[in-house]
Structure 1
Amino acid sequence: MDYLAFFLAILHIHRALCEEMFWDTTVKLTKNMSLECVYSSLDTITQMEWLKVNTTDRESIAIFSPTYGVIVRAPYADRVYFLNSTMAPNDMTLTFHNASEADVGFYSCFLHTFPYGHWEKVIQVVASDDFEMAVPSNSHVVSEPGQNITLTCQLPTKWPVQQITWEKIQPHQIDLLTSCNLSQGKSYTSKYQRWILSDCRLGMRSTFVIIPHVMASDSGLYRCCFKARTGENETSVMRFTVSDGKMENQYTLFVAGGTVLLLLFVTLITTVIVISYRRRRKQKRGLFKEHRNKDAQNKATNNYRNPISTHQSSDSAREDIYVNYPAFSHRPKTRI
């Protein structure tokens, strides 16, 4: 029996060493970093614990109870704290101060809930550059807030696909959205805090994720990854942007402002033209009167007699303003 127990222990350790760790989120190591853990269900959280997961054991970092409060273990005292536990009991985000290379590894956010039992989210911390810099996008999708958006990828046809994963990539972290095993027709329940819809069935030729009622926080890079049992893999990346409407409003204000300025400019030019036209007309009338007075003086000097009566002469004088006067028609026009 001793040999059997020893053999089982060796087998257990071998499986732990060889089994690939599965994680929900990858976070970039920074001096001040946050490990997000938000429980989206309405179940009652009775207790939660943060653990650092090693190859063979789990090291307790901090423990939180809604009744008894927070306890941080000695190696992490003054280095970590809960970000929003006092304001939002379902937000167990853990923040690090002065993180170093020793903090690289896997972390578990382990919750005890009532009445559904335990819930766990695994986070991997890696020393890496900006995640978005290493992932060029193939397409760009833009949407307004509140829309239901579907992102689609076509499966490769050159080799059979075994597993499909969807990820959201941001500069500081990568979140797993869905994971589908086609051979088993089973999908992994993601710990992503947003509600994501997807499909997982044998024989499908394309895969999709549906993001309902998108918000500005949904903007980022989305990657679908395909893997075969033989090791082949392929990825497709698209950038998704949720527009907040500010650019459209700015453009509308710009167009409206430009239209108003144009109308003001046209009105100003029209006013200047009308004023100039009236001034020129007044000047011409003044010249007409001046020439008419001169002609009248000449007629008086030459003892010119008009055979028409006095009342008729006043009518003809008024008509001379609008009709070319005979004596004025032979003179050159004065330039103004």
Structure 2
Amino acid sequence: MDYLTFFLAILYMYKALCEEVFWDTTVKLAENMTLECVYPSMNTLTQMEWFKINMMKDESIALFNPTYGVIVRKPYADRVYFSNSTNASNDMSLSFHNASEADIGFYYCSLHTFPHGPWKKMIQVVPSDTFEVAVPSTIQTVSELGKNVTLTCQSQMQWQFQEVTWEKIQPHQIDLLTSCNLSQGSSYTSKYPRQILSNCSQGMRRTFITMPLATASDSGLYRCCFKASTGETETFTIRLTLTEGKTNNHYILFVAGGAALLLLLALLITIATVISYKRRRRRQKRGLFKEYWDTQNKAASNHRSPVPTNQPSDGTGEDIYVNYPNFFRRPKTRV
């Protein structure tokens, strides 16, 4: 990155902080990137223009007029284009290809509409290695498409907070939704392309945002951050999931039922394993006992008394000697 450009960026950031300039969107530098500029109303667009902010004078990049079409300034020719420039569109996003470190900096899109007049959105492009990585979500929220969705967070600390902000986190950009000055009770509403309702009052420790009639694009990761004047922060991240045709309770019951079935399956597998192990142990013991028994019988057979070839008879047709199973023969008592 050019040192002069970096120095100028630092100076402008300092100026912006002193003037309380809010950056509506922070974009990660990429070879192909898009700077979003979506006007949230359907008022008639009379003209719009993209600028890059410089210390001396803002640099015009591209211009769109519904009557005269598109003009791209020479330094940016063949490198930028309007993603969707039609007469009926309120999307004036600017796309870059073959972007480089020279494109790091601060931009804004300026729209003139009838009858509401001017509208401006501020964007900063930062190096990819300094782009903030979102922390894992700490709260899971499930809602239904088409419903009003409210996300809430409450501070647990005793610090004297100065500001609370809400943001939507994406892999390539971070959108500021609202910012509330807690000492004054005044708020800034970002140029986010959908309506966001929020609360803002002096000294509040519980904040919320509401998105009316939630759509699929509202799913994702949200963050609220309490900031103190001394620099301490308290941050909450919320993962919002929107489902179609299922209420929050039904979804939770479905997830809970699935978890219970998995637990039951694991329990059955464990029981079957234990039973199989015990059966194998019993079979092994029976095998050892049978082997021992056969060995004893064989040893006893080797010490048995021989059986006479011609056994004496008692006249009754029965032999005087009878066979006993206990390894020897005993004479039968005469009557």
CA RMSD of aligned residues (A): 2.5
Alignment of 1:320-335 (within 5 A): none
The alignment partner of 2:200 has SS state of coil
Structure 2, gaps ≥5 residues long: 1-10, 255-335
Quick one: distance in 1 between partners of 2:143 and 2:237?
17
AA of the residue aligned to 1:19: A
Q: Is contact 1:132–1:171 with CA below 8 Å preserved after alignment?
A: no
Runs of 4+ in 1 over 3 A off after TM superposition: 14-19, 129-134
Q: Aligned match of 1:19 in 16, 19, 24?
A: 16
Alignment of 1:221-232 (within 5 A): 221-232=221-232
Aligned to 1:44: 44
Deviation by residue 1:288-324 (Cα, 9 ceiling, x = unmatched): xxxxxxxxxxxxxxxxxxxxxxxxxxxxxxxxxxxxx
Q: How much has 1:132 moved relative to structure 2?
A: 8.4
Q: How much has 1:129 moved relative to structure 2?
A: 6.0
Deviation by residue 1:218-268 (Cα, 9 ceiling, x = unmatched): 11110001111222222111111112469x8xx9xxxxxxxxxxxxxxxxx
Q: Is contact 1:216–1:244 with CA below 8 Å preserved after alignment?
A: no
The alignment partner of 2:161 has SS state of coil
1:115 matches 2:120: no
Equivalenced residues, count: 236
Q: Is contact 1:163–1:180 with CA below 8 Å preserved after alignment?
A: yes
The alignment partner of 1:162 has SS state of strand
AA of the residue aligned to 1:179: S
Quick one: distance in 1 between partners of 2:57 and 2:13?
10
Deviation by residue 1:36-84 (Cα, 9 ceiling, x = unmatched): 1011123222111100112343111001111111100000001111111
Aligned to 1:189: 189
Aligned to 2:214: 214
AA of the residue aligned to 1:181: N
Aligned to 1:97: 97
Quick one: distance in 1 between partners of 2:203 and 2:158?
14
1:241 matches 2:241: yes
Q: Is contact 2:52–2:107 with CA below 8 Å preserved after alignment?
A: yes
AA of the residue aligned to 2:122: V
State percent identity of aligned pairs. 67
Q: How much has 1:19 moved relative to structure 2?
A: 3.5
TM-score by length of 1: 0.65
Quick one: distance in 1 between partners of 2:136 and 2:96?
30
Alignment of 1:1-336 (within 5 A): 17-20=14-17, 21-86=21-86, 88-128=88-128, 134-244=134-244
Q: Is contact 2:83–2:95 with CA below 8 Å preserved after alignment?
A: yes
Quick one: distance in 2 between partners of 1:135 and 1:87?
40
TM-score by length of 2: 0.65
Q: Is contact 2:196–2:210 with CA below 8 Å preserved after alignment?
A: yes
Aligned to 2:316: none
Aligned to 1:269: none
CA gap of 1:74–1:123, structure 2 versus 1, over 3 A, is same
Q: Is contact 1:147–1:212 with CA below 8 Å preserved after alignment?
A: yes
Q: Is contact 1:83–1:93 with CA below 8 Å preserved after alignment?
A: yes
CA gap of 1:33–1:245, structure 2 versus 1, over 3 A, is farther
Quick one: distance in 1 between partners of 2:245 and 2:158?
42
Q: Is contact 1:48–1:64 with CA below 8 Å preserved after alignment?
A: yes
CA gap of 1:131–1:140, structure 2 versus 1, over 3 A, is farther
Q: Is contact 1:132–1:169 with CA below 8 Å preserved after alignment?
A: no
AA of the residue aligned to 1:180: C
Quick one: distance in 2 between partners of 1:127 and 1:220?
23
Q: Report the structure, 1 or 2, having the larger helix content.
A: 1
Quick one: distance in 1 between partners of 2:80 and 2:16?
29
AA of the residue aligned to 2:184: Q
Q: How much has 1:203 moved relative to structure 2?
A: 3.2
AA of the residue aligned to 1:145: L
The alignment partner of 1:19 has SS state of helix
AA of the residue aligned to 1:39: Y
Q: Is contact 1:131–1:171 with CA below 8 Å preserved after alignment?
A: no
CA gap of 1:133–1:189, structure 2 versus 1, over 3 A, is closer
AA of the residue aligned to 1:141: T
